[in-house]
């Protein structure tokens, strides 16, 4: 039985675990532990970090893992870097499962920035009532923006520091277009700040912003690791993992 570690936290990771488990693989999904109620999923579940690349390499060896699929959020750069390091040390095949990024459409007014700090600096002059959906872990960047009000949407309540003028909306996607329209109308939103996370479950806010003709501050993804092969679909990731020869162990290549 092939043993697969999925670095999770995304819808794709959950669905991949189901596919692999149903195909007979021994699947463990690892979550960083930032969400207190991760929900059920197929196979085993471990919560909490490995303690960096050293700890992950030791865990891979201890549990005789045959393949690793990095299906973390596209912005989880540190987790992905640690995974690449640990996989290289143990010669464990590693694949990145990354949903495609969003693409601009006619009528969009996107302003691309490199990180949340650049997004915070760009808010003044673009909008005064902001829907902020960058996640609860990086709100400190917006804490000094004093001439805008933020509707902060996140799965769980954020810890301080947070924007000076704000309201927190705890919600988990997917979000429907009609609900995003109503939300922006109700709060008179005139600017959307988000990350290029990709995927359909979170894309409705972009359509709603397009309809309202408001600008979008879009944070670029960190560059993908060149040494790690990647795919965009669950079927491709499952096929790759199931093709690993459990008998050859860590010597199998990507």
Q: For residue 253, what pLDDT is reported?
A: 38
DSSP-derived secondary structure letter, 161 = S
Q: For residue 32, what pLDDT is reported?
A: 84
For 124, list phi and psi in degrees, rounded to 5. -60, 130
> Where are the chain's structural domains?
3-100+222-251, 110-219
Count CB neighbours of 237 within 10 A: 28
Give the tokens for residue 55: 């700890």
> Which residues neighbour 143 within 8 Å (Cβ) at sequence distance 6 or greater?
161, 162, 163, 164
Q: What angle do CA 77, 96, 5 make, to 5 degrees?
A: 100
Could you tell me the CA-to-CA distances from 110 to 195, 207, 209 in Å, in that order?
11, 12, 10
Q: For residue 252, what pLDDT is reported?
A: 38
- Three-state DSSP class for 81? helix
Q: For residue 40, what pLDDT is reported?
A: 77
Is pTM beyond 0.85 here?
yes
Measured distance CA(207)–CA(159) in Å, rounded: 29
Q: Which residues pair with 110 in a beta bridge?
A: 216
Q: For residue 119, what pLDDT is reported?
A: 98
Measured distance CA(204)–CA(132) in Å, rounded: 14
Positions of the chain with pLDDT under 50: 246-254
Q: What torsion do the CA atoms of 66, 90, 227, 48 make, to the nearest 10 degrees? A: 80
- Per the CB < 8 A criterion, the answer to whether 186 and 210 are in contact is no
The reply to whether 110-219 shares the fold of 3-100+222-251 is yes
Domain 110-219 CATH class label: alpha beta
From the candidate CATH numbers 3.80.30.20, 3.40.50.720, 3.40.50.1000, 3.40.50.1980, the one assigned to the domain spanning 3-100+222-251: 3.40.50.720
- Three-state DSSP class for 3? strand
Identify the CA nearest to 56 among candidates 25, 33, 27, 88: 88
Q: For residue 245, what pLDDT is reported?
A: 61
Q: For residue 244, what pLDDT is reported?
A: 87
pLDDT per residue as tens digits for the range 166-193:
999 999 888 999 999 999 999 999 999 9
Q: How many CA atoms lie within 13 A of 24 on its CB side?
A: 5
Q: For residue 37, what pLDDT is reported?
A: 63
């Amino acid at each position: 039985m092939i043993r697969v570690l999925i670095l999770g936290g995304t819808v794709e990771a959950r669905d991949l675990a189901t596919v692999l488990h149903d195909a007979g693989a021994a699947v463990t999904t690892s979550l960083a532990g930032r969400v207190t109620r991760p929900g059920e999923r197929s196979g085993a579940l471990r919560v909490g970090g490995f303690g960096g690349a050293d700890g992950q390499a030791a865990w891979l060896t201890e549990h005789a893992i045959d393949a690793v699929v990095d299906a973390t959020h596209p912005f989880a750069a540190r987790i992905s870097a640690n995974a690449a390091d640990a996989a290289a040390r143990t010669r464990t095949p590693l694949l990145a499962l990354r949903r495609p990024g969003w693409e601009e459409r006619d009528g969009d007014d996107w302003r691309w920035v490199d990180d949340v700090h650049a997004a915070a600096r760009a808010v003044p002059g673009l909008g005064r009532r902001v829907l902020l959906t960058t996640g609860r872990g990086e709100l400190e960047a917006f804490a000094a923006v004093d001439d805008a009000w933020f509707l902060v949407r996140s799965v769980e309540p954020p810890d301080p520091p947070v924007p000076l003028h704000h309201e927190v909306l705890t919600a988990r996607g997917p979000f429907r277009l009609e609900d995003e329209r109503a939300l922006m109308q109700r709060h008179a939103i005139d600017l959307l700040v988000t990350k290029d996370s990709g995927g359909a479950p979170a894309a409705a806010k972009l359509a709603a912003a397009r309809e309202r003709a408001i600008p979008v501050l879009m944070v670029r993804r960190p560059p993908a690791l060149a040494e790690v092969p990647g795919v965009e679909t669950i079927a491709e990731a499952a096929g790759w993992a199931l093709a690993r020869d459990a008998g050859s162990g860590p010597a199998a290549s990507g």
